[in-house]
Structure 1
């Protein structure tokens, strides 16, 4: 049984001037009652069950809670569930803590049953949360503080999956569509901060919830500003418009570290940066080859692309060391990690040889999509990759667009290749595989962001088997085998795990997290 627990870029001259001027500004103690936080990307929805995207999860985490959660080092700990145990191989029992919703009503097992069922009822989700609830076949309310959850097969990942399903009030949410959710009447959670207002692409405003079960929240009010532009975000911190930010622009990191009026923190995250390559369609819109075929269908071409990318150069020259090159799908703290995959290939001559063997001695043309406001240095990294591919005769152009447009284009199948990131949310390798690589399976919630159009029956068999294996050691070996299937076939091209950075005004303590979920919890007034 799980034990209870509490749970446009600045020029160098402008930036240097700002560093001098900031010494005249008040430190964080002047704002101890108010956290003004800048995110590097915008939330796409306030409905915590609509779009499984990290920025949405980060916003929701301030107001809503989950049954289980991951601590800053991604260990699963209790949240709204005080404890849980296995009744048998397919049934889990969760004991709920006594908590209040922000409208004063009690949080009960009925709200849990509703919250677990709701993701499966939401239509047109760009990335569904059903991947985390698809295994559930029944919920049984034992009493207001006890619920049993039954899965279709033995399913060891349930406590991990439940870190991603927010508990909402049945009374406040029932029958409410996602586009109508962003009002104080419906944004009712049990979290420490209560919804006040939402301005799309601008900000979310919250206030302290005095009835929070975990004690008095650290801040009286929290405002999250959406500032994808690096320069604007940094300027806002220096001027005092905000007192904390995420994703410090890499050219400014050393200056931030040297500024006595700022504090800085960094941590290796679970976010895997990778390439989708359209291997599943005979005709693909972003490739052009002399023979009229889609070269990406040939595994030799996909391996050539993998070999042509100098990950070390990207890490050192573009990412200030905040990129950790890998061929893995999991970090060394996660199940499914295989140390043999940490040696990444870089062999441009070998890449050319593979292309010739595949029938493309003169290469082909490719358009590489990328967000330009979501991942750390995303557009610059994509441009570097394009240059590397062009050197091996894959003549590559870059289509850099905002993250919201990436989702729209990707879900419509408009990419042949696109650089994306996936923040692994369950502390083991299979969540990303199920979401991004598995054959699409609506019933299970698998493959909902499979922009490579990849489908491998062998991988499906591996996933079905490992997600039913209750023995951790056996499942870890099975996860490694599934990771090798993905990597050997280059279903996606792993690039690196991204480092996450934060900065704040002096007087604020930063609590860095491996899962990148920046929220009010990330910052506290310093003692």
Structure 2
């Protein structure tokens, strides 16, 4: 089974000015105080884990800080909108032509068709491949002075959305070394240039004055990586930072109401059961675990009403899903656990997860399982989870983050060749259902096929949806233009900065 690290997203902030919630009257356009803008202080939950490779976990960091951009972005409805590509058109069922806008890389070179084609080619050749390209063969070629022609191995009706992926940032030729390492320092196109990273502690960004979207409001961004949610919230409350992501539910009440910004997201917290080895290789024990879980106790208790009880892989933020949802298919009859021993794992970067896992431990033990709980920082847990060293895992996953296409998370997370298949599920019926969804070109037909595949996946009991999250971001009263979106790809853009409220 092909497995690789993932933790998605990339910036695309300037184009999202009309797409997502932007805190403050100034908006993301820069504004009159851009020339002498002060530096912005940001607290993030996840430190760099893979030398800032755009193909792994760190793509999210690069995106949210306004460092990297892709050809397209997603609007609030999940439709592709222009970023480095000013426009595009479909030439045939497998070929698209993207027309580039005038832009400059942070190393001073021009964003040219050949540079863009080379950057996308590097992504297709990456080992392991980015999640957005799972199961996709893609070839990019320069087309004249402003165009990039992209051809796929089979028809791909969502290609413009796919190219918005966090893992498909466009970087200058200088970024790609002979060793295979990709270096985004000084080679991206976003409004902020990464200039210094101090291990897992901090990072420094300076404003990129030649950004195609205009001069950023802030002169730079000073980042602190604070894994502990209580400490992250305290840093905001005491004025040490201006923005703090992923404020814990338990800490929300310590912030002024105006400082707490709650955003409905496509993030679902699920219990993933190792279907390849251990006790949950038995579908009847998976059914017993699923039956033991009380999701309402999690939504109302752990999340204090800041989440909805799990209904499926896709939650309320995916507005079309509810009306198309189907009953799970082919569930096994639950067996008696009979003191079955299992290891349940989660991570503490998202502070509610250890508490969720503790409640699940109690619920499973009440049903007759013997549960050992293990909590780590995410970067120290992922590789073991991918290798199947845990019997069960509590994971918070944005179901639309890779491409905005709902099929992508199914292919990545629940198929035999899926690169982020933490449930280690390999079911021929599921693979067929996901493949059918991938082939669908009509929007309504594709959505129907996605929900049919969801029903097949839920029928295996390899995944138990727990809650659908609303993310709380701490935004100081002095901050304008924070970019809060349901895909959690953006946070800082050209219009994000501090200043007196108007």
1:169 to 152, 162, 172: 172
The corresponding residue for 2:345 is 369
Which residue does 2:223 correspond to in 1?
224
Q: 1:22 matched to which residue of 2?
A: none
Contact preservation (8 Å) 2:15, 2:73: no
Q: How does 1:214-293 map to 2 (within 5 A)?
A: 214-258=213-257, 263-281=259-277, 284=278
SS of corresponding position for 1:111: helix
> Helix, strand or coil for the counterpart of 2:488?
coil
How far residue 51 of structure 1 moved from its aligned partner, in angstroms, is 0.8
Change (3 A) 1:57 1:211: closer
Which residue number corresponds to residue 183 of structure 2? Answer: 181
The 8 Å contact of residues 243 and 505 in structure 1, kept in 2 or not, is answered as yes
Let me know the Cα RMSD of the aligned residues.
2.8
Displacement, 1:392? 0.7
Instruction: Structure 1: give runs of 5+ residues left out of the alignment.
Output: 8-28, 285-293, 345-350, 441-446
Deviation at 1:79, TM superposition (A): 0.8
Once the two structures are superposed, the pairs formed by residues 45-84 of structure 1 within 5 Å of their partners are 45-52=50-57, 55-59=60-64, 62-71=66-75, 74-84=78-88
Contact 2:105 2:187 in 1 (8 A): yes
Of the three residues 355, 361, 370, the one matched with 1:386 is 361
Query: Could you tell me the TM-score, scaled by structure 2's length?
Result: 0.85
1:130 to 1:232, Cα distance in 2 relative to 1, 3 A: closer
Distance 1:335 1:505, change over 3 A: closer
- What's the counterpart of residue 347 of structure 1? none
Structure 1 residues 116-515: aligned runs within 5 Å: 116-123=120-127, 128-132=129-133, 134-164=135-165, 165-175=168-178, 177-178=180-181, 181=183, 184=185, 187-258=186-257, 263-281=259-277, 284=278, 294=279, 296-334=280-318, 337-339=321-323, 341=325, 354-355=333-334, 358=335, 360=336, 362-373=338-349, 375-423=350-398, 424-425=400-401, 426-440=403-417, 447-509=418-480, 510-515=482-487
- Report SS of the residue matched to 1:167: coil
Please tell me whether Structure 1 or Structure 2 has the larger radius of gyration of its CA atoms: 1
Q: Residue 97 of structure 1 corresponds to which residue in structure 2?
A: 101
> Alpha-carbon deviations, 1:24-83, whole Å to 9, x = none?
xxxxx9x95111000122121353433146644545x51110011123564421111111
SS of 1:313's equivalent? helix
Cα deviation, residue 376, structure 1: 4.2
Kindly indicate whether the alpha-carbon contact (under 8 Å) linking 2:202 and 2:224 is maintained by their aligned counterparts in 1: yes
Please list the CA deviations of residues 212-256 of structure 1 after superposition, one character each: whole Å capped at 9, or x if unmatched: 000111210101210011232122223322111112222231231
Q: Measure how far apart 1:511 and its partner are.
A: 3.6
Please give the per-residue CA displacement for 1:258-302, whole angstroms capped at 9, x wherever unaligned: 5xxx62211111112112211123xx2xxxxxxxxx3x1232322
Structure with the larger RCO, 1 or 2 (CA within 8 Å, 6+ apart): 2
What is the TM-score with the length of structure 1 in the denominator? Answer: 0.81
SS at match of 2:161: helix
- Cα distance change of structure 1 residues 342 and 386 upon mapping to structure 2, 3 Å threshold: farther
Considering fraction of residues, name the structure with more helix: 1
Unaligned runs of 5+ in 2: 1-13, 17-33
